[in-house]
Amino acid sequence: MTSKIYVGIDVSKCWLEVRVHGTAESKKIGNDAEGLAALVGEMKAVQPQLIVVEATGGYERRAVKALNESGFGVAIANPTRVRRFAEAIGVLAKTDKIDAKVIAYFASVVKPAVNSRRTALEEQLAAFVERRRQLLVEVVAEKNRLSTSSACVREGIEEHVAWIEEKVAQLEAKIQACIIENHNWQTQIEIMESVPGVGPITAATLVAELPELGQLSNKEIAALVGVAPFNKDSGPKRGKRRISGGRSGIRRTLFMSALSAIKCNPVIRPFYESLLKRGKEKKVALVACMRKLLVFLNAMVRKSEAWSPPSA
């Protein structure tokens, strides 16, 4: 019986440290076109069951794309999860070679799920959504500066804010153009927008960054996004439940939708008010509304049914 081969890749801006689990040494490859071609050649010779790449602020994307296009199964691992794994097995030192070895071992033990391969249109939509989010952070920062800026620079800040807002509008138009090209996306977005509190940008963000929506159970989707509270109990002690991990970009989007939903959604609003009456903090109640809203959307997309208000 042929043993399965697992590969771990530690990513930096300029280099990829590649380690096949069970081998003595790792190999350093450039994170550029020439290096990626060499990486694909190495993997074709090895034929791994799974390649795990640690997420590194986007520097891993070119390698993941090159490996996906060559037909390899690639999983992108959360760096915190890999670090905790290293600590659990007693590896406290941290270098590129050590990290690659740990990631390869992590791949062989944990066997994380392979990331779905994105089409060119899916990559475009995700890029537009992410760039819009980045620009919104910038415009908020610039508007905050206006309150303390000197009169001599105020005009320049206002011009910059106007420029950013124009770019945001252009990105929103591009997002809509991407959605028009995919009938399934249009259907999902129409379903999600039927829920009071969910607007076109929230729906587009979920389509771009949560392709698992409608394919997982309610508990699984809540845990994936990071809105499921985790227990922290020990013996008689009952610790405070907290959310952790997940996809922060989606949580930020759901947060804004939940703020809207507690004002206008006939299910979310009474749910929020009931939590407050029971003594829950507003922040806790709002997270619960985010989770309930996500569960609604997940169930509706799975059934491909539009939301309907509850009967009186």
Range among 42-46, 145-149, 308-312 with highest mean pLDDT value: 42-46
Cα dist. 306→193, 260, 286, 301 in Å? 9, 19, 24, 8
Q: Say if 115 falls within a structural domain.
A: no
Q: Are residues 101 and 61 in the same domain?
A: yes
Q: Are residues 277 and 299 in the same domain?
A: yes
Q: Say if 253 falls within a structural domain.
A: yes
Tell me the average pLDDT across 158-170.
Answer: 95
- Residue 67 and residue 74 in contact, taking contact as beta carbons nearer than 8 Å: yes
Q: What is the pTM of this model?
A: 0.79
Q: Say if 69 falls within a structural domain.
A: yes
pLDDT at 283 over 50: yes
Q: Are residues 231 and 275 in the same domain?
A: yes
Q: Say if 167 falls within a structural domain.
A: yes
Last residue of a domain, one of 64, 89, 110: 110
Q: Say if 63 falls within a structural domain.
A: yes
Q: Are residues 252 and 201 in the same domain?
A: yes
Q: Say if 223 falls within a structural domain.
A: yes
Q: 54 lies in which domain range?
A: 6-110
Q: Are residues 250 and 174 in the same domain?
A: no
- Residue 251 and residue 258 in contact, taking contact as beta carbons nearer than 8 Å: no
Q: Are residues 217 and 264 in the same domain?
A: yes
Q: Are residues 195 and 305 in the same domain?
A: yes
Q: Are residues 72 and 148 in the same domain?
A: no
Q: Say if 251 falls within a structural domain.
A: yes
Q: What is the pLDDT of residue 310?
A: 63
Q: Are residues 21 and 105 in the same domain?
A: yes
Q: Are residues 145 and 205 in the same domain?
A: no
Q: Say if 1 falls within a structural domain.
A: no
pLDDT tens, residue by residue, 189-213:
999 999 999 999 899 999 998 888 8
Q: What is the pLDDT of residue 80?
A: 87
> Would you place residue 1 in the very low, low, confident or very high pLDDT band (cuts 50, 70, 90)?
very low
